[in-house]
Structure 1
Amino acid sequence: MSSQVKHKKTLVVVVGPTAVGKTATAILLAQHFDTEIISADSRQFYREMTIGTAKPDTQELAAAPHHFINSHSIQEEYSAGDFERDAMKLLDELFLAKDVVIMVGGSGLFVRAVCEGLDDLPKATEGIREALNKSFEETGLEPLKQRLKDIDPAYYAIADIDNPQRVIRALEVYEATGNPMSFYQKKDLSKRPFDIVTIGLNMDRDKLYERINLRVDKMIGAGLLDEVKSLAAYRHKPAMLTVGYSEVFDYFDGKLTFEEAIDKIKQNSRRYAKRQITWFKKYGNTTWFQPNDIDAIISFTKATLL
Structure 2
Amino acid sequence: MIKKNQELTPTKTLISIVGPTAIGKTGLAISIAQVFNTEIISADSRQFFKEMEIGTAKPNQDELAAAKHHFINSHSIEELFSTGDFEINALETLDKIFAQKDVAILVGGSGLYVNALLNGLDKMPDIDLNIREKLNQLFTDEGIVPIQNQLKEIDPEYFEKVDQHNPQRMIRGLEVFLSTGKKLSSMLSSTKKVRPFNVIKIGLNTDRKILYTQINNRVDQMIESGLLDEVKSLQSFKHLNALNTVGYSEIFAYLAGEISFEEAIVAIKQNTRRFAKRQLTWFRRDEEINWFEPNENEQVLRFIRAQLKS
> What TM-score do the two structures reach when normalised by structure 2?
0.92
Matched, 1:290 2:293: yes
User: What is the CA-CA distance between 1:99 and the residue it aligns to?
Assistant: 0.8
Worse-matched range after superposition: 189-198 or 122-131: 122-131
User: What is the CA-CA distance between 1:151 and the residue it aligns to?
Assistant: 1.4
Q: How does 1:149-164 map to 2 (within 5 A)?
A: 149-164=152-167
| Number of residue pairs the alignment of both structures matches | 301
For 1:189 and 1:74, locate their aligned partners in 2 and report how far apart those are by CA, in whole Å.
30
SS for the counterpart of 2:231 is helix
Aligned to 1:201: 204
Task: Return the match for 1:75 from 78, 81, 91.
Answer: 78
Matched, 1:17 2:20: yes
Matched, 1:228 2:239: no
Aligned to 2:194: 191
* Residues 292, 300 of structure 2: 8 Å contact kept: yes
Task: Return the match for 2:51 from 48, 53, 59.
Answer: 48
Aligned to 1:102: 105
SS for the counterpart of 2:269 is helix
Task: Return the match for 2:92 from 89, 104, 112.
Answer: 89
SS for the counterpart of 1:52 is helix
SS for the counterpart of 2:54 is coil
For 2:21 and 2:157, locate their aligned partners in 1 and report how far apart those are by CA, in whole Å.
24
Structure 2 residue identity aligned to 1:196: V
Task: Return the match for 2:123 from 120, 125, 147.
Answer: 120
Task: Return the match for 1:279 from 275, 278, 282.
Answer: 282
- Gapped regions of structure 1 (runs ≥ 5): 1-5
For 2:227 and 2:45, locate their aligned partners in 1 and report how far apart those are by CA, in whole Å.
18
For 1:9 and 1:26, locate their aligned partners in 2 and report how far apart those are by CA, in whole Å.
17
- Gapped regions of structure 2 (runs ≥ 5): 1-8
Deviations 1:160-196 (A, max 9, x none): 4354332221112122323220232353110000011
User: What is the CA-CA distance between 1:198 and the residue it aligns to?
Assistant: 1.0
User: What is the CA-CA distance between 1:141 and the residue it aligns to?
Assistant: 3.7
SS for the counterpart of 1:97 is coil
Task: Return the match for 1:132 from 135, 145, 162.
Answer: 135
* Residues 7, 305 of structure 1: 8 Å contact kept: no
* Residues 164, 242 of structure 1: 8 Å contact kept: no
For 1:110 and 1:278, locate their aligned partners in 2 and report how far apart those are by CA, in whole Å.
16
- Cα distance change, pair 193–154 in 1 and its aligned pair in 2 (3 A): same
For 1:164 and 1:293, locate their aligned partners in 2 and report how far apart those are by CA, in whole Å.
37
SS for the counterpart of 1:292 is coil
Matched, 1:170 2:191: no
* Residues 166, 241 of structure 2: 8 Å contact kept: no
SS for the counterpart of 1:172 is helix
- Cα distance change, pair 249–123 in 1 and its aligned pair in 2 (3 A): farther
Task: Return the match for 2:39 from 36, 40, 48.
Answer: 36
Q: CA RMSD in A?
A: 1.8
